[in-house]
Amino acid sequence: MNYDAFFERELAQLRAEGNYRVFAELERDAVNAPNALLKRGEGDRPVTVWCSNDYLGMGKADFVRRAVADAALQDGAGAGGTRNISGTATQHVALEAELADLHGKEAALLFTSGYVSNWASLSTLGARLPNCTILSDEMNHASMIEGIRHSRANKKLWKHNDPEDLDRKLSDLPHDNAKVVAFESVYSMDGDIAPVAEILEVAEAHGALTYLDEVHAVGLYGPQGGGIAEREGLAHRVSLIEGTLGKAFGVMGGYITGSAALCDFVRSFASGFIFTTALPPALAAGALASIRHLRRSDLERRRQQANVAALRARLDALRIPHIDNPSHIVPVMVGDPFKAKFLSDTLLENYGIYVQPINYPTVPKGTERLRITPSPLHTAGDMEHLVAALSHLWSQCALSRAVA
C-alpha cells in the first residue's frame, strides 16, 4: 500500500469540501493584546485577534505572567515526572485546593488539559462503575464523546438541553444500575446555556451521578467566576464539575472537582492521569494567580459583557445574522464552508482581522460560521473596524442579511 498516497487523497477530499484547516502563525503582543503579528515569509503584518478562548485576557495580565516567570525561575520549566513519581509540586497542591474551594467541593484533581480531564474522568467512571450507563447530551464536546466511547459503558444520547427526554431515557434503565448524566453548561459553538436546575432535578430523581463540563463558563459567570452552577446556586448539587485553566483563566490545564472519594477514585484509576507528566508547576502558579484575582474582581467580566452586548447591537443594526444566545460567544452564521473560509481569509489579508472559520465536523454542514469572542481588551475602534469589514464582505459575497 502507498500510505502517503492514501494520506494525500484524504487531504485532497478535505480541501474539496472546504474543510481543510490552515493554521495562522501568530506572535502575540502581551502588552498590547489582543494585537499580534501574523508571521509570514514575505513579511509580518499586524492583526487583531477576535477568536481567542482567552476570554478575559488573563493570559496577558502582568501579574499572571510574573507568577509564571517567578515560579519557572525558582522551580524549573517542567514538572519532571508524573504526579506519582516526583512530579507533585507545592503549586499543584495549592491550585487543587483553590479549585475545590472555588466550586464548593471537597477536592480537585489537575490534568494537562480540559480534553484530557474529560476523556480520563468519563472513561474511568464509565469503565469502573458497575453496570454503568452514561447519558450524554447529543451536543457534548468531542473530549466527552471520546471518554465515553473509551469506557465501553452503555451509552444513551438525550436531546440537546431537553430534561424531558433525559427523564424518558433514565426511566428505561434498571433502577439499581449506575448512571452518569454528562452535559455542559455553556456550549461553545452556538453559545447556548443548559437548563442546569431542571437537568439536576431529573438526574436526582433517578439517582444518577451528574457530570457538568464548565470549561466555557469558569471565570466568566458567577460572583467568583465559578461558572453557571455557581451563578445559579447549584454547584453543591452537581456531583462532578469539570473545568479548564486554558480559557478564561488564560493559562493551560484541566481539572475536576467533587467529593474527596470521587477525586481520589479518578486519581487512582485514570490512566490519563497516572501515566502523564504533571502540568508544569509554573503554569499552575499562573493559573492560581488568575483564579484568585477573578474570585475577587468582576471588572474583567463586566467589561467583557459590555463588549459582547455592543457587538451584538452593531451586528443587529447591520442585519448581519448571528445566533442570539445568553452567553459571551457570538456565532456569525455563514452557512457555506467556502464562503466562511473566504470571509476569514479576506478579513485577515485585507483588514488585519483574525477570525477563524468553523466548519464541519466541528459544526454540522450548512451551519458554517465565524465564531467571534469579544474580550475586555477590544476597543470601540476595534469593534467598528470589525463590523464595517463584515458588512462590506457580506455584500460582496451576496450573503443574506437578517430580517429586520
Active site positions, annotated: 247
> What is the rounded CA–CA span in Å between residue 76 and residue 277?
14
Give the residue-averaged pLDDT of 339-359: 95
pLDDT band at 130, cuts 50/70/90?
Answer: very high
State the chain's mean pLDDT as an integer.
96
Which pLDDT belongs to residue 109?
Answer: 98
User: Which three-class secondary structure state does DSSP give residue 120?
Assistant: helix
**Sequence-distant (≥ 6) Cβ neighbours of residue 308 within 8 angstroms:** 328, 330, 374
- pTM reported for the whole predicted model: 0.96
Q: 126 and 147 in contact (C-beta within 8 Å)? A: yes
Q: Is the pLDDT of residue 41 over 80?
A: no
Which pLDDT belongs to residue 33?
Answer: 92
Q: Is the pLDDT of residue 240 over 70?
A: yes
Q: Is the pLDDT of residue 351 over 70?
A: yes
**Sequence-distant (≥ 6) Cβ neighbours of residue 347 within 8 angstroms:** 353, 354, 355, 389, 390, 393
Question: What type of residue sits at position 124?
Answer: T
Name the pairing type of β-strands 179-184 and 209-213: parallel
Give the residue-averaged pLDDT of 353-374: 94
Which pLDDT belongs to residue 42?
Answer: 79
